[in-house]
Amino acid sequence: MKTLGVIGGMGPQASVRFLDLVVRNCTETYGVRKNDEFPRIVLSSLPAPDLIENRESEVRAGQMLAEESRRLEQAGADFLVMTCNTMHILSECCISSVSIPFLSMVDAVVSEGKANGISRIGLLGSKTTMNTNLYKEPLEQNGISVCIPNTAGQEEVVRCILSVIAGKAGEQERTTLQKEVESLAEAGAEAVILGCTELPILLKQSMTNVPLLDSLQLLADASCKEIFSHLSLLHLTKHSP
């Protein structure tokens, strides 16, 4: 069984939820029942400067990601994930610093969109996430066009994200996100990516009829698939001629 290395802490609430999603996936999908059947997880809660509103601290953040990736590899991680969408703009800092694989949250989301036959999708996230090619380029390469909120809507989404990180988000922020999702649907989005790991803490699928792609859930699913990949190998070995 592979050891999962998690670059978290951006923000901490999302890291906590990610671990919960992984543990739930272990029991619900892979039938884990005993303590020694759960995977080893090495978590770093990294206080890196965020790139939510701008990219002024990008160089420092990239250096911190590279250093932390090396620490997790040295701690025994077999592969790495990062529980922050925006920081994936610097994922190459992680990839180039270690010899172990880096499992991309963006790739997991794009794969889900393609598998569901979506041709136009909405994107909510930080300004960096919404206004760079982080999601836009890989989605368009897979035949999926992207729409984002207008300038005022982007400001509202960022306000909601910062409220979650500060532990002050409530019904007002939830209502704001619901309205932004509906606006994207009116713009032709067949589904909406919750492209910041703080957003699913506020907005659940039960709160809207518009299909939501929860980036953190999809990363947890992909992580567990990688952790338990030995089960597929065992299955193939047992059934090989």
Q: Which pLDDT score, from 0 to 100, does residue 235 have?
A: 43
Give the span between the Cα atoms of 15 and 82, in whole angstroms.
Answer: 9
Instruction: Please report, for the chain, the start and end positions of each structural domain, with discontinuous segments joined by +.
Output: 4-104+218-238, 106-214
Considering the four listed CATH numbers 1.10.10.10, 3.40.190.100, 3.40.50.1860, 3.40.640.10, the one that applies to the domain covering 106-214 is 3.40.50.1860
CATH code linked to domain 4-104+218-238:
3.40.50.1860
Q: What is the pLDDT along the chain (241 residues), one digit of tens a residue?
A: 999 999 998 888 889 999 999 999 999 999 999 999 999 999 999 998 877 777 888 899 999 999 999 999 999 999 999 999 999 999 999 999 999 999 999 999 999 999 999 999 999 999 999 999 999 999 999 999 999 999 999 999 999 999 998 889 899 999 999 999 999 999 999 999 999 999 999 999 999 999 999 999 999 999 999 999 887 544 433 333 4
**Under a CB-based contact definition with an 8 Å cutoff, are residues 86 and 126 in contact?**
yes
Burial of 168 (0-12, 13-18, 19+ CB in 10 A): exposed
